[in-house]
A and B are shown apart, each in its own frame.
Chain A
Amino acid sequence: MVQMKISNKAAPVNFVGVSKVFGRNVVAVDDINLTVEAGKLVTLLGPSGCGKTTTLRMIAGLEMVTSGQILIGDKDVTKLPATDRDVSMVFQSYALFPHMSVLENVSYGLGFSGFPKPEARARAVAGLELVGLKGYDGRLPSELSGGQQQRVAVARALVLEPQVLLFDEPLSNLDAKLRRQVREDIRAIQQDLGLTVVYVTHDQEEALAVSDEIVVMRDARIAQVGTPRELYDAPVDSFVADFIGEANLIPCEVVAIVGDTAEVAVDNYRYRLASRGLPTGPAQLAVRPARIMLGECEGFDATIAKATYVGVRMEYSLQTSFGSIFAVLDDVAHPLKANSRVKVGFKQTGPVLIPPN
C-alpha cells in the first residue's frame, strides 16, 4: 500500500451568477450558478465552444469573471489571480516543463508553497509513487511516453493538496486503449483521496464513466445538472437527450394526463409514461435506439430503409410519417429485410417525455 502522504483539503466550489464576456460581445459563459460539492468529481460536458473550458479556467483563475462571484470553500476568490488560488490543474497538453526533470516538475509548485527542500522532495517522491512512476525521477519529460507524461502532470497537481483539482480534457492526447485505463486511475485516486475534481470533456461516454455529477453546457449556459443516470434516463430537453447517448426525438401528442401518467399518441399508437409535469398538447419523446421494438404487437407504421449487420447487433434505419428513426436490435438471428413494412413500438421503460422544440 502506498504510504499516504497526500492528504485531503477538498473544498466545495460555488458559482454565483458568473458571466464571462470576451472582447466587446462574445459571451463565453452566461450567468451560471453552480455548486460543486466537496469530494465529488463533477464533469463539465458539452460540444466545443459551449463555455466549459472557460468555466474551468475561471475556477483556476486563468480567466477573470466579467460579473458574478466564485467561492472556493467559504472564501471569495473572484479577484484572486491563479497564483494565489489553492487550485491546481492538469492541462490537455500536460504542460510539463521540458527543461526540468520529472522530479523537478513535480516539486516545482511545492517550492512556492513554502515547503523546505527536503520535505518538498519527499512529497514529490510520494506523489510520483502514487501515480505509479516510482524511479522515474531523473527523466526528462521528452523521455516519457504520453501516458507517463500524463501521470506526471497529475502527480504535479496532486502533491500541492489543492482544494480543487481541475482536469482539462486530460485524455484527448492518449490513444483509445490507454484512455479507459487512465480514466479509471484518475477516478480511483479521486475516490481514495476524496478530492474535489472538476473535469472538462466533450466525450459523453467518458463523462458518464467517471462522474459523480455531470453539468451539461450549451451555448454558454447550463443545460442540465445531474448524476449520469439522471441525465441518461431523464434528460430535460432534446439537446441533452441527444447529446448524452443517442436518442430518437419523436414528435407526439399528449392526449390525456392521469395523475403523474401521461398518455401520448404517435400516429395511432398509444403509449403511457411519466408526464413530468407536461400539459396536454404537442410534445416530444426521446427514445434510445435500444428501447425500440420492431415487428410484433401494436405500434405505428414504418418502412425499413436500411438494415446493417454490425456483429453483436442489427442496426435499422426506419422511415416513418414524421421522418427517419434509428433502432438497434439484439436479435441477429432473424434480421428484418430492407424495404419491408413493420410496426414500431417502445419497450416498457426507457422513453422520456420532453417539451416540444
Chain B
Amino acid sequence: MRRAATEERTHPALILWIVAGWVGYVLLPWYGVEDGLLRLGWLVDGYPLDDDYAPAAFLIAQGNKLWLAPLLLPLIAPLFVVGCSKSDPRYSIVLTVAGSFGCAWLVAQGLGIGIRGFSYHWLNELFGNLGDRQFGMGYGALIVAASFLFLFTQGIAARGAVNGDVFVVSAIGGVIVIVAIFVFFPIGHMLFNAFVTDEGGYSLTTFAAKFFDDRLWGLGCLWGARCGAALNSLFLAVLVGASTTALGLTFALVVTRSGFRFKPALRALTVLPIITPPFVIGLALILLFGLSGTVTVTVADFFGGQPTRWLYGLPGVLIAQTLAFTPIAFLVLIGVVEGVSPSMEEAAQTLRASNWQTFKTVSLPLMRPGLANAFLLGFIESMADFGNPLVLGGNFDVLSTEIFFAIVGAQYDQGRAAVLAMVLLCFTLSAFYLQRVWLGKKSYTTVTGKGDAGVHPLMPRRLAIPVFVIAGIWGAFTIIVYGMIIYGSFVELWGVRNTLTFKHYVTAFSIGFNEHGLHWSGSAWDSFWTTIYIAAVAAPLTAAVGLVTAYLLTRQTFVGKGAFEFGTMLSFAIPGTVIGVSYILAFNVPPIEITGTGIILVISFIFRNMPVGVRAGIASMSQLDKSLDESSLTLGANSWQTFRRVILPLLRPAILAALVFSFVRAMTAISAVIFLVSAEYDMATSYIIGRVENNDYGLAIAYSTTLIFVMLATVAILQILVGRIQIGRRTHFATGA
C-alpha cells in the first residue's frame, strides 16, 4: 500500500515552482511598484503594457530590457523533466543547472545594471553605453528568483543531498539565501563603503585616514579634553558588563539562596527590559537627576549650590545602561546559579567545608563560565545601545550615536559611518566570539538527567548581608525610576509647572468624531498604528524563520552546519545601528530598492530578532526526543509532514513565545529603526526620540508609558495562553518557554 502511494507520483513541489516561475515572468510586474506591495492600483493603470508595471515577458516583447530574455532558458528547461523519475540523472542535472544559471543571471543583471545603466565602468568599456536602466526588483522578479532557488534545491536533493529530502534541502537553501541577502550582503556592502573616496574610487588611505581618526582613538580625556568614541564605547561597555554582572549575581543569589519571601516579584523584574523601550530609563533619570530633576533641585536647594549637569555623559549613560541591562544578567545568572547541582554543595559540606568555604571553593568556581557569559552579554548590549547615549550622552561620544550623526547629521559622511560601524562590529563580534569559545570549552553543567533531591544551601552570613543591602538599594532604585516614568507622564512641565494633568495623553491619544466617524486625532496615533502593524507583520515571519532554522540546527545534519549556525546567530552580535546603516546603504539602490518602505522595517526586524526565535526554538526542540521524528519517518511521513504534524504542535508554547517576543522587541527597537523610518512609516520609538530632541519630555514619557503598558498586556496574555496549553495537555513534554 505504502509503496504505491509514495513512489511513482509526480512531484507537486516541482510543478508548483515551475508554475510560480512562469507566473512571475509572464503575469506579474517585474519591477517594484511604487505604492507598495499591497496596493493593486497597477492593475488598472496601464498594465500589462506600461513600462512601470509590465511583466518581463511583455517588456521583452516590446523590445525593452532585453537582458531579461536569457531567463527564459532556465524557465523552459525544467519543463522537459516533469515526466522524469527522480532517480533519472537528467532530472537532477537539468534542475541544478537551470536553477543555478537562473539565480546567477538574476544576480548578475541586478547588480550590473542600475538606475544609470551599467553600474560599473568596466561594463561600459566592455559593452559600450547601455542607454537603458532599471529599477528595483518587484513581485515578478521576486517570485522568479524564488522559483530558481527552489528548482535548484530540488535538483541537488535529487542528487542525494541530505538523503534526498526536498523539504530540508529547500529550507536550508532558503535560509542561507535570505541570510546572505539581508545580513551578509548589506554588511559587506557597507565594508566596501569604508574604502570609498569622495570621488567614488576605492582607496586604502581614505580608509586609514578615517580609521585612525583622533575622534575614534584619541586619548584626550587623560588630560581633560575628549577621548575618542571607540575608547569611550569600550570603557563604558566594560563598566556596564562588570556592574550588570555583579548586580545580576546579587539578585540571583537572593532568589535562589535565601529565605527571601517575594521571589516571584524579583523574577518579574526579568520582564522589564523586554517591555521597556531602551531610552525610557534615560528619560526617567533626567526627571530625577537632570538639570531640573527632582533630586538635583532638592540637593541644590539644601546645600545652596548650583544645579549641575553631571548626569549628561559617562555617569548618566552608565547608570541608565546598568539599570536597563541588569535584568538580562539576572536572567542568565539565575539559570547558572540554579544549575550548580545541590549535591555538589552538599558533598562539600559533608567534607567539612563551612557555608562560606563551600560557596568560595565550589559554588563560585562552578558559576564562572556563567559569569563570563553575563559579562559579555552586558558588554554587547552596552556597545549596541543607542537610545540611552542619545538621550544622556552629552559630550560623551560613543560609537553607536556617532554612526547616527555621521549619517543624519550635517556631515553626511557614509564612509565615516561605515568605518565607525566596522569598529563597533569588530568589538561586538570579538565579544561574541570570545563568549562562544569560552562557553564551548568550559562546560560546567552539573545538572544531569538524574533527579537531584538536594536543596541549595543558604548563603553564608558574611555574604548575605552585603547581598541583601545591595539588592535592596538597587531594587528600590529601579522601582523609583519606573515610578518616575508613570508619574512624569502626568506632570505638565517637569521642574517648572509641577501640576498633574492628562494633557500629554490627550495630545498624543485623543479620539474625535467627525463626518467620517471615528477620528484618531491624537498626534501619536499614526506612529502607534504603524508600529503595531509592522510589528504584527514581522512577528510571525520572525518566528517562522527562527523555528525553521532551529529545526535544521537541532534535527538535521548536513555539510557546513557549523558555518550555517554561526551565520544565523551572527546577527545577534551585529548592533542595530550597524544594521540600520548597512540597510540604507545597500537597499537604497537597485536591485533591491526598499528604503522608505514598510518592507525594510519588517525585514530589519526579522533579522534583528531571528536569533531570539532560533534560541527559543533550539531550547524547546532539544527537549523533544529525536525518536519522535524518527518514528514519524518510519511510519511513512516525510520530513515536511513530520515537521507540521509532530514538531509544530509540540512546540506550540515556544511558537507563541517567539511570536510575542518578536512582536514586543519590534515595538521597542530603536537603533536600527531610526535609520529606516520614513514619513509614511514612522515608528513609535523614533517618534518619541523626535519629541525628546524637541525637549517635549511630557509627551515622550506619556507615549513611553503607554507602550510599556501595551507590551505588559501582551506579555501577560502570553503567560496566560502558555499556561493554558500546559494545563490542557497533561504531558511531560510540554515545555515552559
Contact = CB atoms under 8 A, between A and B. Distances in A.
Contacts of B639: 83
A115 B729 contact: no
A83 B731 contact: no
A113 interface: yes
From DSSP, what is the main secondary structure of chain B's interface residues?
A: helix
A353 B113 CA distance: 84
Contacts of A86: 2-3
Interface in B690-737: 729-734
Interface in A184-198: none
Nearest to B639: A83
A99 B635 contact: no
B163 interface: yes
Contacts of B2: 86, 112-114, 160
Contacts of B634: 60-62, 82, 85, 87-89, 157, 166
Contact of B731 (A64, A89, A99, A166): A99
From DSSP, what is the main secondary structure of chain A's interface residues?
A: loop
A140 B635 contact: no
A81 B160 CA distance: 10
Contacts of B734: 98
B636 A98 contact: no
A112 B1 CA distance: 10
B165 A93 contact: no
A169 B630 CA distance: 15
B638 A98 contact: no
A109 interface: yes
A62 B626 CA distance: 11
Contacts of A269: none
A143 B730 CA distance: 8
B638 A83 contact: yes
B625 A95 contact: yes
Nearest to B633: A82
A93 B625 contact: yes
Interface string A58-69: 001110100000
Given A98-B733, A109-B636, A89 B630 contact: yes
B163 A64 contact: yes
Contacts of A109: 635-637
B355 interface: no
Contacts of B633: 61-62, 81-83
Nearest to A106: B635
A79 B165 CA distance: 12
Given A81-B165, A112-B641, A114-B1, A91 B160 contact: no
B650 A98 contact: yes
A282 B706 CA distance: 91
Interface string B277-304: 0000000000000000000000000000
B7 to A, nearest CB: 7
A346 interface: no
B164 A89 contact: no
Interface in A80-124: 81-89, 91-93, 95, 97-99, 108-109, 112-115
Contacts of A92: 627
A165 to B, nearest CB: 10
B631 A89 contact: yes
A288 interface: no
A156 interface: yes
Contact of A81 (B163, B627, B631, B645): B163
Contacts of A108: 632, 635, 637, 645
Nearest to A161: B1
Nearest to A60: B634
Interface in A202-236: none
A112 B641 CA distance: 9
A142 interface: yes
Contacts of A161: 1
Interface string B606-631: 00000000000000000001011011
A140 B646 CA distance: 14
B367 to A, nearest CB: 33
B627 A95 contact: yes
B160 A79 contact: yes
A113 B636 contact: yes
Contact of B729 (A64, A84, A140, A160): A140
B532 to A, nearest CB: 32
A95 B631 contact: yes
B5 to A, nearest CB: 4
9 contacts: A64-B163, A79-B87, A81-B163, A83-B633, A83-B636, A95-B631, A98-B731, A156-B635, A160-B2
